Amino acid sequence: MAQLQQYSTLEHFRVTSPAPFVAHIEINRPAKLNAFFEPMWLEMGRAFRQLSADPDVRAVVLSGAGDRAFTAGLDVQAASQNPALTGGGGSDPARGAAYIRRHVAEFQECVSALEKCEKRKACCPS
């Protein structure tokens, strides 16, 4: 499998090419069961937007590194320490709620980038 150099800056994902025009994106945090925390969500969105526009990619395979889990989902410990999820409005609940809504919408855009990717997608166990 060849490493795709245009994706080498990704920290939490590995992108390789197992065959011509195929990108294999692997969630790469096996010690934490590939659980997602804020930088991973943002990086996933960037990666899938880039894959969607890449003319050298026609299909995308998504998997998780390690042998224990594709992904455990949200890294609850990291999320509980994220001040953005407690609101940024101080004592004003409405401002805090608006701040949290914007923050959650940003994460949703990252998940939507996977869905909106213009390439044929496949998901497989590691």
The model's pLDDT over 65-116, given as tens digits with 9 standing for 90+, comes to: 999 989 999 898 888 787 766 565 567 888 888 888 888 899 899 999 999 9
Q: How far apart are CA 63 and CA 14, in angstroms?
A: 10
Residue of 113, 87, 83 lying closest to 102 (CA atoms): 87
pLDDT, one tens digit per residue, over 5-51 is 999 999 999 999 999 999 999 999 999 999 999 999 999 999 999 99
User: What is the residue range of 64's domain?
Assistant: 2-123
Q: How far apart are CA 93 and CA 72, in angstroms?
A: 31
Looking at the structure of the chain, the number of domains it has is 1
The predicted structure's pLDDT at residue 98:
84
66: its two tokens: 């390690």
Dihedral angle over CA of 66, 77, 75, 9, nearest 10: -80
pTM score, whole prediction:
0.84
Proportion of the chain in helix, strand, coil states, percent, rounded to 5: 45, 20, 35
CATH number of the domain bearing residue 15: 3.90.226.10
Alpha helices in the chain (DSSP H): 38-53, 76-80, 93-116
